[in-house]
Chain A
């Protein structure tokens, strides 16, 4: 069994029950975390065609939960789906019998093994389903005593930024987390709301005495209320507040004005984000300059014709510099990702 560190207990994995069976689709239960909408239709069609011609060649992996008559899929959801569709279309096996899937039966997975499997499914999911992922990650962190992003990334397959985002969600009290688990999409607070709001709340608590007095939870409530009142039309608009603050760094008068505006923004439920902060942001010009800087940087490097540099020391220094550029660009690129949830209605 693989381990993360020598001191750590082995990561639980599925244990084969040593049985190969041939199961009809009716005897099989798809994964509870059914990611049906995430399978690429073209790939599925190709696989279906293949299975239609040759049958299922690679066995799927299933287990039987205690007391359940059906077998649950651990691996092979796509093959299962193809057979279900083929059966529905009246397709038969070569001998004219009902289509069956070869299945390796394993012991029911432990909680952690099941969770890690679920993560492999979640890797295909859109970011808007982040809250359930965060809850699962919390269990993994608690059960395995692991907090390091790299180790968690290796375990779950989630990327470093995804783990960071989950951790941000988990930093909020449960009553706020619950708001992102509301079954009704019209009243649900999107997970991205918390991620984008967190730096703003931190900033307000740090710089505005009245907000500090209000406390973190009540300040958060104010933003929730504002979001429900549609005064935060997109969660991305929280970035304008951070941007306004950052840009006023060298201008004390503007900085003081931004801080006052942040206070007003929190306390006045009617104040809309863009109305409040647009005046401090001259976004287009900066972004245009950044875009030209990117183009200029690449074309300049190309002009230097560095590919065949021979000097060892120079190559070493150049590679180090490029790595630093890459790291910065990567972190900037990741910071720019994020957006509104696709199923939450907005103005």
Chain B
């Protein structure tokens, strides 16, 4: 009961499905009695990034980056902020949040969607020399980010340094991002050791880990440990990444296994009429 209270307080503002005392204890009860302790331990290891925390990290990191760029003689009007995914996904939302919180528009910064290559090309041509700052909330493998950036790079013009602002980045993504010469400004690098179900983590005893892996596989046979078995533990208040273990997300439509952090697309669609 104490644990359920603790979890419901900690994760109460998770947007897709706010956590209550009832839903927290219901989640625990889905596990067999012998597994409940490790399930709680797993939940304890969740790195939850609340709305205010996410905004604070972004604004802080952005301020540090802008300071550095200003010292290198790159004023705000030479900065192009770039969102990297589809409209409605996290990146444009993050960019809007940062734009408003840091007053970037008033400083003369530019904003472009990486998929709008023509506009990106025009804006870079207009600015000539400056910095491209990609904004996102969480970078998992880095594959999606790098694919979007590489496509956009075909239309690059001018001399630009490249940066990535994100509240949390997995260590797997760092190599790919760094290989492209993009410098990441982040509040948190999510190491493999931080993820109890990751192959490289020794947080759980082997049998406990195997037990939870089995439960995950039962919930989602293909992505039990999340996309590419990343087994990440970062959960953002707005949505959980698709790299979290399946026991946290639950089954599709939340049946038979109800998750504690379902993604929007995991929830059943309400019938109209």
Which residues of A are interface residues toward B (Cβ below 8 A)? 26, 28-30, 32-34, 63, 65-70, 72, 108-111, 114-115, 118, 129, 132, 135-136, 139, 174, 177-178, 181-183
B201 vs chain A, min Cβ distance (A) = 25
**B173 interfacial contact with A, CB 8 Å:** no
Choose among B68, B114, B157 the residue that contacts A111 (Cβ–Cβ < 8 A): B157
Chain A nearest CB, measured from B89 CB (Å): 13
Q: How would residues 146 to 189 of chain B score, 1 for a CB under 8 Å from any chain A CB and 0 otherwise?
A: 01101111111111111000000000000000111101000000
Q: Which of B20-28, B42-50, B69-77, B218-226 contacts A (4 or more CB under 8 A)?
A: B69-77
Query: Which residues of A lie under 8 Å from residue B150 when comparing CB positions?
Result: 34
Q: Is the interface of B mostly helix, strand, loop or mixed?
A: mixed
Q: Which 4 A-B pairs have the closest CB atoms?
A: A29-B181, A68-B161, A181-B117, A67-B72
Cβ–Cβ contact A69 & B156, under 8 A: no
Q: How far is the CB of A64 from chain B (nearest CB, A)?
A: 9
In the complex, are the beta carbons of A32 and B118 less than 8 A apart? no
- In the bound complex, CA of A268 to CA of B133 (Å): 46
Distance between Cα atoms of A225 and B131 in the complex (Å)? 38
Known: A135-B118, A174-B118. A69 touches B183 (CB 8 A): yes
Q: Are B181's CB and A30's CB within 8 A?
A: yes
Tell me the B residues contacting A by CB distance below 8 Å. 68-69, 71-74, 114-118, 121, 125, 128-131, 147-148, 150-162, 178-181, 183
Given contacts A67-B74, A183-B115, contact A139 B157 (CB under 8 A): yes
Q: Please indicate the chain A residues that have their CB under 8 angstroms from the CB of B116 in the complex.
A: 178
A111 touches B118 (CB 8 A): no
A72 to B180, CA, bound (A): 10
Within 8 Å by CB of B155, from A65, A67, A68, A132, lies A132
Contacts of B121 in A (CB 8 A): 132, 135
Set A108, A177, A182: member contacting B129, Cβ < 8 A: A108
In the assembled complex, the CB of A325 is this many whole angstroms from the nearest CB of chain B, namely 39
CB-based contact A33/B153 at 8 Å: yes
Q: With A132-B117, A135-B121 in contact, is A68–B181 under 8 Å at CB?
A: yes
- Residue among B74, B151, B181 with max Cβ neighbours from chain A (10 Å): B181
A67-B68 contact given A111-B157, A132-B154, CB 8 Å threshold:
yes
Contacts of A29 in B (CB 8 A): 180-181
User: Contact at A67–B157, with CB atoms within 8 Å?
Assistant: no
CA distance A28 to B162 in the complex (A): 13
Contacting residue for A30 out of B68, B156, B158, B179, CB 8 A: B179
- A67 vs B128: C-alpha distance when bound (angstroms): 15
**Chain B contacts for A118, CB-based, 8 A:** 156-157
Tell me whether A66 and B74 are in contact (CB under 8 A).
yes
Does B159 contact A108, Cβ atoms closer than 8 Å? yes
Residues of chain B within 8 A (CB-CB) of A182 are 115
Across-interface contacts of B118 in A (CB, < 8 A): 135, 174, 177-178, 181
A65 near B160: Cβ-Cβ < 8 Å:
yes
**Given pairs A111-B128, A139-B125, 19 additional interface contacts (CB within 8 A):** A26-B178, A65-B129, A65-B131, A65-B160, A66-B72, A66-B73, A66-B129, A66-B159, A66-B161, A67-B68, A67-B131, A68-B131, A68-B162, A110-B159, A111-B125, A135-B121, A135-B157, A178-B116, A183-B117
A178–B115 alpha-carbon span in the complex (Å): 10
Task: Write out the residue numbers on chain B whose beta carbons fall within 8 Å of the beta carbon of A66.
Answer: 69, 72-74, 129-131, 159, 161
A66-B161, A135-B121 as given contacts; A33 in contact with B72, CB under 8 Å: no
Distance of B63 from chain A, by nearest CB (Å)? 14
Q: Are A32 and B156 touching (Cβ within 8 A)? A: yes
Is A67's CB under 8 angstroms from B69's CB? yes
Contact partners of A115 in chain B: CB under 8 A: 157
Are A65 and B153 in contact, CB atoms less than 8 angstroms apart?
no
Query: Please, which residues of chain A bring their CB within 8 A of the CB of B157?
Result: 111, 114-115, 118, 135-136, 139
Nearest CB in chain B to that of A140: its residue: B157
Contacting pair A67 B153 (CB below 8 A): no
Residues in A whose Cβ lies below 8 Å from that of B156: 32-33, 118
Q: B159 near A65 (CB under 8 angstroms)?
A: yes
**Are A33 and B154 interface neighbours, CB within 8 A?**
yes
Could you pull out 25 A-B pairs where Cβ atoms are within 8 angstroms?
A30-B179, A32-B153, A32-B160, A32-B181, A33-B153, A33-B156, A63-B159, A65-B161, A66-B129, A66-B159, A67-B68, A67-B71, A68-B161, A68-B181, A68-B183, A110-B159, A111-B159, A114-B157, A118-B156, A135-B118, A135-B155, A178-B118, A183-B115, A183-B117, A183-B147
Bound-complex Cα distance A34 to B181 (A): 11
A29 to B161, CA, bound (A): 10
Q: Which of B73, B128, B152, B158: most chain A Cβ within 10 A?
A: B158
In the complex, the answer to whether B161 meets A181 with C-beta atoms within 8 Å is: no
Nearest-Cβ distance from residue B183 to partner chain A, whole angstroms: 7
Contact residue among B73, B74, B117, B159 (Cβ-Cβ distance under 8 Å from A109): B159
Residues of A within 8 A of B154 (CB): 33, 129, 132
Residues of A within 8 A of B147 (CB): 183
Q: Which residue of A lies closest to B68 (CB)?
A: A67
Query: Which B residues touch A26, using CB under 8 A?
Result: 178
Residues of chain A with a CB closer than 8 A to B183's CB: 68-70
Residue of A nearest to B153 (CB): A32
Q: How far is the CA of A246 from the CA of B268 in the complex (A)?
A: 60
CB-nearest residue of chain A relative to B66? Answer: A67
Distance from A11 Cβ to chain B, minimum over Cβ atoms (Å) = 16
**Chain B residue at minimum C-beta to C-beta distance from A26:** B178
